[in-house]
Amino acid sequence: MDKQIVKDQLNRPLRDLRISVIDRCNFRCQYCMPAEIFGPDFAFLPKSQLLTYEEIERLAKIFVGMGVEKIRLTGGEPLLRKDLPLLVEMLSNIEGLKDIALTTNGVLLPRLADQLKEAGLKRVNISLDSLNDELFGQINGRKVGVKPVMAGIEAAKRAGFGVKINMVVKKGLNDSEILPMAEFCKQEGLELRYIEFMDVGSTNGWKMDDVITKKQIYDIINEHYELEQVEPAYFGEVAKRYRYKGTDTDVGFIASVSESFCSSCTRSRLSANGQIFTCLFNGNGHDIRDFMRNGASDEDIRAKVVNIWNGRNDRYSEERTAETAAHRKKIEMSYIGG
């Protein structure tokens, strides 16, 4: 496939596409979908407003033709979307696409892991914010213990996926779990990604005082395990990676608050209701669903996406202040994924 490489205002190429396939989730994590906001009466998107699998496939082909090499499926909880392995199979057949990954809470993996692997999924990131049942139940807002997620991790390993563990760290909530999580993942040979608590959306009550920085987490781990830095595997790699000395197990840090990586961000995001977002922290989406449904050709869609990316100048994490965090319009994590 001949690719039309596009770059934005800061000369950043388009390389990654994150697709939110659903806005619903079976958890109510405090940093994403707090239960007091996303309660029993919350109006989630009707099926008619979600992109169909055929529409997602069509858009993915166009994005791949513009330079995208990796796609990550997100939510909400993407495994709640019916027949997700079918979408994975459709995407895996796109010429020029090198990688398909999934971010999930893992609870439904025991039932779906083998189907997803057979369909062409290559990697999974599984969210786990604590090894303590009571604390984890508090964080996920559903009083679900650790065991169902552990079953998902084991299912992913058995299926042959590359597995990474995501841990969002919030001061005063689960920072006591930093070292236990490191010990567990090191023992199991799993790459752990510590994620700084971020001001995504406007419902998670984010404050700078709640952030445990990458340096603070690193210092806690380094007191017990010697870490050596690992060079980035490719331009635009989000995590700053280290390795436990004497092992082949990595530990990564997503430090978008304390050590921003805006200058090398190559990610575009497609929301559950069919809008393109050029930054995780930019609430101004660009409609592509209705444009497509109103008869736009592939060339029309490609031209629109090129125009969106060419005009992109987002670097929110470099510009973040208490004032911008409080007043900037943002999209909720449940619509746009991580």
pLDDT at 163: 97
Banded model confidence at residue 326, pLDDT cuts 50, 70, 90: low
Q: Is the pLDDT of residue 1 over 80?
A: no
pLDDT at 271: 95
CA pair distance 299, 286, nearest whole angstrom: 17
pLDDT at 323: 61
pLDDT at 6: 96
Banded model confidence at residue 324, pLDDT cuts 50, 70, 90: low
CA pair distance 182, 177, nearest whole angstrom: 8
pLDDT at 316: 82
CATH code for the domain of 166: 3.20.20.70
Ramachandran sector of residue 143 (left: φ over 0; alpha: ψ -120 to 50; beta: rest): left
Q: Is 11 domain-assigned?
A: no
- Please report the beta strands in 206-254, taking only residues with DSSP state E, as ranges in sequence order: 227-229, 240-244, 250-254
Of 167-176, 279-288, 291-300, least confident by mean pLDDT is 279-288
Banded model confidence at residue 160, pLDDT cuts 50, 70, 90: very high
| Residues of the domain holding 55 | 16-336
Mean pLDDT for 240-266 is: 94
Banded model confidence at residue 179, pLDDT cuts 50, 70, 90: very high
Q: Is the pLDDT of residue 199 over 70?
A: yes
Q: What's the mean pLDDT when you consider all of the chain? A: 93
pLDDT at 31: 86
77-116 per-position pLDDT tens digit = 999 999 999 999 999 999 999 999 999 999 999 999 999 9
Closest listed residue to residue 55, CA positions, set 300, 293, 318, 275? 293
pLDDT at 198: 87
Banded model confidence at residue 48, pLDDT cuts 50, 70, 90: very high
Q: Is 152 domain-assigned?
A: yes
Q: Is 21 domain-assigned?
A: yes
Q: Is 162 domain-assigned?
A: yes
Of 20-29, 122-131, 219-228, 233-242, least confident by mean pLDDT is 233-242
Q: Is 198 domain-assigned?
A: yes
Structural domain count, the chain: 1
Q: Is 34 domain-assigned?
A: yes
Closest listed residue to residue 203, CA positions, set 331, 76, 78? 331
Please, are residues 57 and 91 in contact by the beta-carbon 8 Å criterion? yes
Q: Is the pLDDT of residue 32 over 90?
A: no
Q: Is 199 domain-assigned?
A: yes
Q: Which pairs count as long-range contacts for 8-12, CB under 8 Å and 24+ apart, including other chains?
A: 8/278, 8/309, 8/310, 8/311, 8/312, 8/313, 9/310, 9/311, 9/312, 9/313, 10/263, 10/312, 10/313, 10/315, 12/236, 12/263, 12/264, 12/265, 12/266, 12/312
Contacts of 261 (CB under 8 A, 6+ apart): 238, 255, 317
The tokens 């090198």 sit on which residue?
Answer: 98
Mean pLDDT for 60-74 is: 97
Q: Is the pLDDT of residue 325 over 70?
A: no
Q: Is the pLDDT of residue 319 over 90?
A: no
Of 24-28, 70-74, 173-177, 254-258, least confident by mean pLDDT is 254-258
Closest listed residue to residue 104, CA positions, set 169, 198, 25, 191? 25
Backbone angles phi, psi at 318, to 5 degrees: -80, -25
pLDDT at 327: 64
Counting residues of the chain whose pLDDT is more than 70, the rounded percentage is 97
Mean pLDDT for 173-182 is: 97
Counting residues of the chain whose pLDDT is more than 90, the rounded percentage is 83
pTM of the model: 0.94
Mean pLDDT for 159-165 is: 97
pLDDT at 187: 96
pLDDT at 204: 78
Q: Is 46 domain-assigned?
A: yes
